[in-house]
């Protein structure tokens, strides 16, 4: 029995275009769905789990968001900024700044305050790196008209970014992107 009777008549295969040496590679136009899916979790659940775990889950989510952004734009430094945040915060808490203060001549309280300010700056630099990476990607590569408020990014940081990541996730999986409010 011929294969065409079993499978039915198939459309003839179109051969690929011939490769011309020295010719530029074909351009693939990006569309919604070309990037990896963003982390999807409702921001309220992130807030709840972060509260229950004394902020550890929120820190995990921050690193998860930064890792996703690194897939979008490999030049993103959000992971590095979050790592510096953790290191500075650890030194400010664990050592209390005493050993470093003895070597530098600073008061321990002053050093702890400086380490915590440095940690906060690193955290916000990471969040704003994620924000600028998302804006760049979703307004140039996959133009969806993404708008992210710098004020909301500053005050609500990863919760605000997670809201928009979940919105993009739903848009990619359902094909319907809810409008920004």
Q: Is residue 177 a part of any domain in this protein? A: no
Q: Is residue 31 a part of any domain in this protein? A: no
DSSP codes of every residue in the chain: --HHHHH-PPPPPPPPPPPPTTPPPPPPPP-TTSSPPPP---HHHHHHHHHHTTTHHHHHHHHHHHHHHHHH-TT--HHHHHHHHHHHHHHHHHTTTHHHHHHHT--HHHHHHHHHHHHHHHHHHHHHHHHHHHHHIIIIIS-------HHHHHHHHHHHHHHHHHHHHHHHHHS-PPPP-
Per-position pLDDT tens, the chain of length 181:
565 555 554 445 545 555 555 555 443 333 445 678 999 999 999 999 999 999 999 999 999 999 999 999 999 999 999 999 999 999 888 776 566 656 666 677 787 888 899 999 999 999 999 999 999 999 999 999 999 999 999 999 999 999 999 999 999 888 888 888 6
Q: Which domain holds residue 86?
A: 54-171
- What is the tally of structural domains in the chain? 1
Q: Is residue 113 a part of any domain in this protein? A: yes
Q: Is residue 16 a part of any domain in this protein? A: no
pTM for this model (two decimals) = 0.75
């Amino acid at each position: 029995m011929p294969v065409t009777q079993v499978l039915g008549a198939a459309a003839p295969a179109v051969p690929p275009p011939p490769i011309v040496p020295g010719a530029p590679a074909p351009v693939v136009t990006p569309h919604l769905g070309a990037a990896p899916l963003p982390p999807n979790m409702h921001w309220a659940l992130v807030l709840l789990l972060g509260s229950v775990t004394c902020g550890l889950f929120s820190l995990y989510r921050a690193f998860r968001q930064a890792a996703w952004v690194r897939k979008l734009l490999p030049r993103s430094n959000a992971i590095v900024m979050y790592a510096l945040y953790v290191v500075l915060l650890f030194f400010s808490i664990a050592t209390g700044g005493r050993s470093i203060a003895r070597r530098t001549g600073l008061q321990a309280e002053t050093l702890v305050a400086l380490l915590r300010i440095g940690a906060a700056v690193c955290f916000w630099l990471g969040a704003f790196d994620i924000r600028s990476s998302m804006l760049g990607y979703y307004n140039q590569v996959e133009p969806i008209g993404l708008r992210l408020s710098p004020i909301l990014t500053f005050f609500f940081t990863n919760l605000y970014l997670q809201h928009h990541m979940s919105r993009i996730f739903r848009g990619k999986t359902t094909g319907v992107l809810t409008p920004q409010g």
